[in-house]
């Protein structure tokens, strides 16, 4: 084997993103009684470890407030971890972002509020041309052709180019946001609840589009969703978050069919399914990140909690070659068959 092949293989095996014990603490002011206020640290991310391979698709799933958006901001270098490191191809993301436009060009973001992310005074053509010019993707004479090709790529007719966002439907607006995101020829597409709040058929069309684009363009897709069905359709891998921690990771199908963490199981049971009423809503309320319980932070809602769970917070541990869970008592497969056959 030549030095060159070894170097290429090493680069291929290196994760695209790597989060090493990342913590992100926000300072918040807490009211105590009528007059007293106190500053306190709120750990939005607490000891997060995650590797994302090049060209994969990964869903970040969890209840509201579990830290999904903060994790994305750390990945994109938009916020700096309070502790730990966030790496992109082995280099600090914040340094990559500060170094110039290369990193920004490679990262494309699609927001939940797609309409709000588009300037209402710009036509679709102007909106898509903007990143083409900003990143010098093509010469001025090729811009119109490139806009038309991006529109066609996301399934929109060429005449949409002359319209303003207000004249577009919710689904069309999201397609324009995707075309604009793809204009810079990114290698990573990051989406935060990008198909939430749409009717079922529009959502299905957009998911199909995203899946096709990810495969055709070899994109690495990081997709935030609270919908397990969406995660399962779109993403090869899943990371389930709870109160600032990743509690389970692995291939999406394997995790959803045989969850090892009681929280993953609870999410699975609480998810609406065809022919099955939601019979098991998640028990209890998510605790405040300002008042975390002692030991495992899921203990207060966990049907499998044992006395030792209250003593220490479990770390994310590998229990199969491609799976890890942060639980002292990972679920046996018996619990799994229960999931597959509930009330059908």
Ligand X SMILES: Nc1ncnc2c1ncn2[C@@H]1O[C@H](COP(=O)(O)OP(=O)(O)O)[C@@H](O)[C@H]1O
Q: Footprint of ligand SF4 on this chain (CB under 6 A)?
A: 261-262, 296, 298-299, 302, 304-305, 309, 314, 327-329
Residues in the chain: 344
Q: Which entry of ligand SF4, Mg ion, ligand X, none binds 327, CB below 5 to 8 A by partner kind?
A: ligand SF4
- In this complex, which beta carbon is closest to ligand X, that of residue 196 or of residue 205? 196
- 278-283 contacts at long range (C-beta below 8 A, 24 or more positions apart): 279/342, 279/343, 280/342, 282/63
Pick the closer one to ligand X by CB: 62 or 314: 62
Where on the chain is the footprint of ligand X (CB under 6 A)? 26, 28, 42, 44, 62, 64-70, 289
SS3 272: coil
Nearest CB to ligand SF4, comparing residues 323 and 329 = 329
Q: How far is the CB of 289 from ligand X (least distance, A)?
A: 5
Distances from the Cα of 118 to the Cα of 123, 181, 230, 238, angstroms:
10, 11, 24, 29
CB of 250 to ligand SF4, least distance (A): 16
Query: Is the Cβ–Cβ distance between 288 and 276 less than 8 Å?
Result: no
Instruction: Name the DSSP letter for residue 161.
Output: G
Cβ of residue 266: shortest distance to ligand X, in angstroms?
Answer: 16
Closest separation in Å from C-beta 336 to ligand SF4? 15
**Interface positions with Mg ion (CB under 5 A):** 69
Give the shortest CB-52-to-ligand SF4 separation in angstroms: 24
- Closest Cα partner for 325 from 314, 337, 341, 313? 314
Smallest distance, ligand X to C-beta of residue 71, A: 7
Q: Which does 124 bind (CB under 5 to 8 A by kind): ligand X, ligand SF4, Mg ion, none?
A: none
CB of 74 to ligand X, least distance (A): 10
Token couple for 18: 């790597």
Q: How many angstroms separate the Cα of 319 from the Cα of each of 46, 78, 136, 238, 255?
A: 21, 33, 47, 15, 12
Report how far residue 312's alpha carbon sits from residue 269's, in angstroms, rounded to the nearest whole number: 26
- The residue among 278 and 303 lying less far from ligand SF4, judged by its C-beta, is 303
Chain centroid offset of residue 331 CA: 25
* Cβ proximity to ligand X, 48 vs 132, nearer residue: 48
Nearest residue (CB) to ligand SF4, 156 versus 327? 327
Residue among 244 and 262 whose Cβ is closer to ligand SF4: 262
42 makes contact, choosing from ligand X, ligand SF4, Mg ion, none, with CB < 5 to 8 Å by partner type, with: ligand X
Phi first, then psi: what are they for 327, rounded to 5°? -155, 140
Q: Which strands form 323-325's sheet, in the order they lie side by side? A: 107-110, 188-192, 220-225, 57-61, 237-242, 245-251, 323-325, 317-320
Q: Which two tokens stand for residue 336?
A: 């799994």
């Amino acid at each position: 084997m030549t030095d060159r092949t070894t170097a290429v293989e090493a680069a291929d095996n290196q994760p695209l993103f790597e989060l090493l014990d990342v913590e992100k603490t926000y300072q918040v002011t807490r009211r105590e009684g009528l007059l007293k206020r106190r500053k306190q640290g709120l750990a939005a991310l607490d000891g997060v470890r995650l590797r994302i391979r090049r060209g994969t698709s990964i869903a970040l799933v969890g209840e509201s407030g579990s830290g999904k958006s903060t994790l994305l901001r750390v990945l994109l270098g938009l916020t700096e971890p309070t502790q730990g490191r966030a790496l992109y191809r082995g280099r600090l993301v914040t340094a990559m972002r500060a170094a110039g436009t290369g990193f920004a060009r490679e990262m494309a973001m699609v927001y939940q509020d797609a309409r709000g992310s588009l300037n209402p005074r710009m036509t679709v053509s102007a909106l898509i041309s903007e990143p083409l010019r900003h990143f010098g993707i093509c010469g001025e004479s090729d811009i119109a052709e490139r806009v038309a090709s991006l529109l066609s790529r996301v399934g929109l007719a060429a005449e949409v180019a002359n319209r303003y966002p207000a004249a577009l439907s919710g689904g069309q607006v999201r397609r324009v946001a995707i075309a604009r995101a793809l204009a810079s020829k990114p290698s990573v597409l990051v989406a935060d609840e990008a198909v939430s709040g749409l009717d079922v058929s529009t959502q299905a069309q957009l998911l199909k589009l995203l899946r096709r684009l990810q495969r055709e363009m070899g994109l690495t897709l990081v997709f935030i969703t609270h919908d397990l069905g969406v995660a399962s359709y779109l993403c090869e891998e899943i990371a389930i978050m709870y109160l600032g921690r990743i509690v389970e990771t692995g291939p999406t199908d394997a995790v959803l069919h045989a969850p090892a963490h009681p929280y993953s199981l609870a999410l699975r049971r609480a998810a609406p399914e065809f022919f099955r009423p939601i019979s098991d809503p998640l028990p209890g309320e998510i605790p405040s990140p300002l008042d975390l319980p002692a030991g495992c932070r899921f203990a207060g809602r966990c049907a499998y909690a044992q006395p030792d769970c209250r003593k220490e917070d479990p770390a994310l541990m590998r229990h199969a070659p491609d799976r890890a869970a942060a639980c002292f008592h990972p679920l046996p497969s018996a619990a799994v068959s229960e999931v597959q056959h509930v009330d059908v």
